[in-house]
Amino acid sequence: MIHLHGHSHYSMLQAIWDTKAITNKAKELNQQAIAITDTNAGYGFLEFYEKTDWIKPILWVDLNFSYDRKNMMNIVLLAKTYEGYQNMIQLISIANTVNMIDIPFITMDDLKKYSKWLIWLSWWNWEIEKLIVWWEKDDLILEKIREYEDLFDGEFYLEFLTYDYNLFVDRQNIEKKFIQFIEQNNKKVVVTSNYKYLNKEDRGTYDVLLCIKNNWKYGAGDRPKIKWYNYIMSETEVREVLENNWISKDLQDVLIENTHNIAESIDCKIPLHQLLFPKYEVPDKYRKLYDKLEK
């Protein structure tokens, strides 16, 4: 099992642990790679990249997206190569500068311009999931999926989550529809945990963090409380959650195998500790002077 969706403390007031602790947890679980998908930012990219010499670092980002600059959704993007990493940096920069209103976001035009060498996960709050919840026709949903597959050269995955689906009626409907799409249309799927902390027992600390973020009184009896877990699970724990959510053993195998397939497909080597001078073309009139001096 490779974790492809999760957050470090660089996702402000959304997660607890730093990049070193996250990579150490992956090592403890004998996982060959791990992704950090911080929200709208890449503050921890290079720190994470340099601290993972014993596993493969997967650089992702969780970005706000909007068609109309009003209604926001979320997408998760992965850098497949160094060129993909550069495209991801461009999207993060656009979200935080060009498009910034109340929160950073990107548009479909931005995605079309910088989609090369990126992998896209559907995540929870995305258009496909919304269309399913709204009981739209399958033909419309499949047309949208094909649109994203074409945009990302087939690298678009429907995302199963390691949450307790009994707590989310909408999510039950979404996953059932995903299973139908797999069986009838051979769509790509993957499982993620969207981790926010390392261990199961960290949920209490995470609860305090959410109170700070949302200005909730910790002792208030009527405040919202998280009833599911967002930690870095072992493969055994992931399978237990999926089984409790009526996911068959065969589908579990596919979901987990695809986490490895994605990780193995990544070849993102960032050139570090080099002198990167800008390329400057000498104007012709000055180049001619140099030519005369050489003679």
Q: Residues in the chain, how many?
A: 295
| Sheet of strand 33-36, all strands in order from the earlier edge strand to the far edge | 33-36, 56-65, 73-79, 118-121, 156-161, 189-192
85, amino acid identity: Y
Note the pLDDT of residue 165. 77
**Per-residue pLDDT reduced to its tens digit, 52-80:** 777 899 998 999 998 888 788 888 999 99
Q: Is this prediction's pTM over 0.85? A: yes
Q: At what angle do helices 249-265 and 169-185 cross, to 10 degrees?
A: 80
Contact 63, 110 (CB under 8 A): no
Give the range among 166-170, 227-231, 262-266, 282-286 with minimum mean pLDDT.
166-170
Above 80 in pLDDT, residue 290? no
- Mean pLDDT (the chain, rounded): 90
Note the pLDDT of residue 295. 57
Domains in the chain: boundaries: 19-294
pLDDT-based confidence at residue 291 (cuts at 50, 70, 90):
confident
List, in sequence order, every residue forming a beta bridge with 39; answer none if it has no partner.
62
Q: Which of 85, 102, 104, 103 has its CA nearest to residue 94?
A: 104
Q: What is the rounded distance in angstroms from the CA atom of residue 155 to the CA atom of residue 150? A: 8
The average pLDDT across 33-47 equals 92
Q: What is the rounded distance in angstroms from the CA atom of residue 184 to the CA atom of residue 178? A: 10
Above 60 in pLDDT, residue 220? yes
* CATH code of the region 19-294: 3.20.20.140
Note the pLDDT of residue 279. 83
The average pLDDT across 122-144 equals 86
Contact 2, 192 (CB under 8 A): no
pLDDT-based confidence at residue 125 (cuts at 50, 70, 90):
low
More confident of the two residues 101 and 26: 26
The average pLDDT across 5-21 equals 93
Q: What is the rounded distance in angstroms from the CA atom of residue 79 to the CA atom of residue 139? A: 30
> Pairing state of beta strands 33-36 and 56-65?
parallel
Q: What is the rounded distance in angstroms from the CA atom of residue 269 to the CA atom of residue 80? A: 10
Above 90 in pLDDT, residue 143? yes
The average pLDDT across 232-245 equals 94
Give the count of beta carbons closer than 10 Å to the beta carbon of residue 293.
7
